[in-house]
Amino acid sequence: MKKILLLSTGGTIGCIQTDEGLIPGIPIEELVRYLPLNENEVHISTETVLNIDSSNMQPEHWEEIAKAVYNNYHHFDGFVITHGTDTLSYTSAALSYLLPNLQKPVVLTGSIQPIDAKKTDGVKNLTDAVTYATKGAAGVFVVFGGRVIEGTRAVKMRTESYDAFESINYPYIAYIEGNHIQHNMEVTDKADGELRLESGLCTDVHLFKLYPGVKPEILDSIKDQFKGVIIETFGSGGLPFLGRDLSKTVENLIQEGKIVVITTQCLEEGADLSLYKVGRLIDQSKVILSNDMNTEALLPKLMWAMGKTLKLSEVKEIVESSNTP
């Protein structure tokens, strides 16, 4: 019999309707009663870590969730975390960094409709998550809409559809039908050594999205409030230099010791600063390149790396390395 720990953080799956709208209110013990479990195969224990709408999720909460997994790690065979969908991708990525060397499944899931709604997707998603936590591979994953997604590759694409999440720039890990898991790719053991809990995120990070007409002075006015900035550029990595010159602003940030990450607003295929003049204006050795990482994974990875060191060369090596998730 497999032992699974179900950790609750709130979210739509456990929401109730009030005069103020949907708010988390269904106890985690109540969620378990909706599951069609075979008690001879799996035993589920529960723990409430948080009970919040995921729009209120903060980096400090990521560390609380990671600590809950770490403290219970040797007592269970797998973990399921219920989470609101709005920031689930950020949390799944963060846990991939905060819990290196996992040798058990840690599965995040949620739902578009509360679990007690007439047409809920919560029962299926939670059941599928328990199935993968019981029989699946080691690592952090998102299970939603019958699909298993690498924790650092999940992006919420839709606000109302039951297939809200997609895997970006990476194949789906598996598909789940009933209690059967069909792996879409070979999953290798990525763990090397004992599980660690790596806390101490640096949250002094700003996410800046370019748009036609954006004023470079915006970054100048707030630069004292952050140590690192992720810039979502146009296309393959274009920074405007005519009219409103963002390239000079980036150069000034670098000279002042800010850690600058260049990514793209495009979801798929990643950035390549070498293609156009608007990208080549930036010295690639002095900035961090996102390659094909999505922003939801890039942001917590930068916070995690900067929590270790603020030396540009070291942060660059950590963030750009494919040896980390």
pLDDT at 141: 98
Most confident listed range (12-21, 177-186, 302-311): 302-311
Q: What are 214-254's pLDDT values in tens digits?
A: 998 998 899 999 999 999 988 877 777 777 888 888 888 99
The mean per-residue pLDDT over the stretch 274-303 comes to 82
pLDDT at 135: 94
The mean per-residue pLDDT over the stretch 92-113 comes to 97
- Tell me the C-alpha distance between 319 and 310, whole Å: 12
Burial of 74 (0-12, 13-18, 19+ CB in 10 A): exposed
Provide the greatest CA pair distance for the chain. 68
Let me know if the fold of 2-183 is the same as that of 205-320: yes
Instruction: Tell me if the pTM is above 0.95.
Output: no
- From the candidates 9, 12, 91, 120, give the one annotated as an active-site residue: 12
Pick 82 or 272 by higher pLDDT: 82
The mean per-residue pLDDT over the stretch 313-320 comes to 95
Q: What are 105-118's pLDDT values in tens digits?
A: 999 999 999 999 99
Cβ–Cβ contacts within 10 Å for residue 154, how many? 31
Pick 279 or 310 by higher pLDDT: 310
Q: Structural domain boundaries of the chain?
A: 2-183, 205-320
Give Cα 34 to chain centroid, integer Å: 27
Is residue 134 among the annotated active site residues? no
Report the topology of domain 2-183: Rossmann fold (3.40.50)
Report the topology of domain 205-320: Rossmann fold (3.40.50)
